Amino acid sequence: MRAIVPRVVHPTEWSEETFPLGKEMDPARYLRNLGIIQEERIRRNLALWSESNYGAHCDARCRDRITLFGSPLFTVNAWYNPDRNVITIPAGILQPPFYHPQYTDASAYGTIGWVVAHELSHSEDDHGILYDKDGVLRATWTQDSLLEYRKRANCLVHEYSTLEDCKADAYGEQTLCENVADNNGVRIAYEALFEDPATRHLHTLEDKREFILAGAQMWCASYTAQVLCDSARDDVHAAALMRVRKTFAQLPYFAEVMGCAVGDPMHRHAHERCALFGATA
Q: What are phi and psi of 7, to 5 degrees?
A: -120, 120
Q: Which of 113, 105, 126, 109 is nearest to 78 (CA)?
A: 113
Q: Give yes or no: 64 in active site.
A: no
Give 186-217 as a DSSP string: HHHHHHHHHT-TTTGGG--HHHHHHHHHHHHH
Q: Do β-strands 86-90 and 79-81 pair in parallel, antiparallel, or remain unpaired?
A: antiparallel
Report the alpha-carbon angle 56-59-64, nearest 5.
Answer: 105
Q: How far apart are the first and last CA of the chain?
A: 19
**Which residue among the candidates 119, 134, 178, 210 is catalytic per the annotation?**
119
**Which residue among the candidates 64, 125, 178, 182 is catalytic per the annotation?**
182
Task: Give whole-number Cα distances, 187 to 126, 184, 246, 258, in Å.
Answer: 18, 5, 13, 16
Q: Give yes or no: 119 in active site.
A: yes
The DSSP symbol for 2 reads: T
The DSSP symbol for 16 reads: -
- Which residues are registered as beta bridge partners of 70? none
Residues designated catalytic? 119, 182
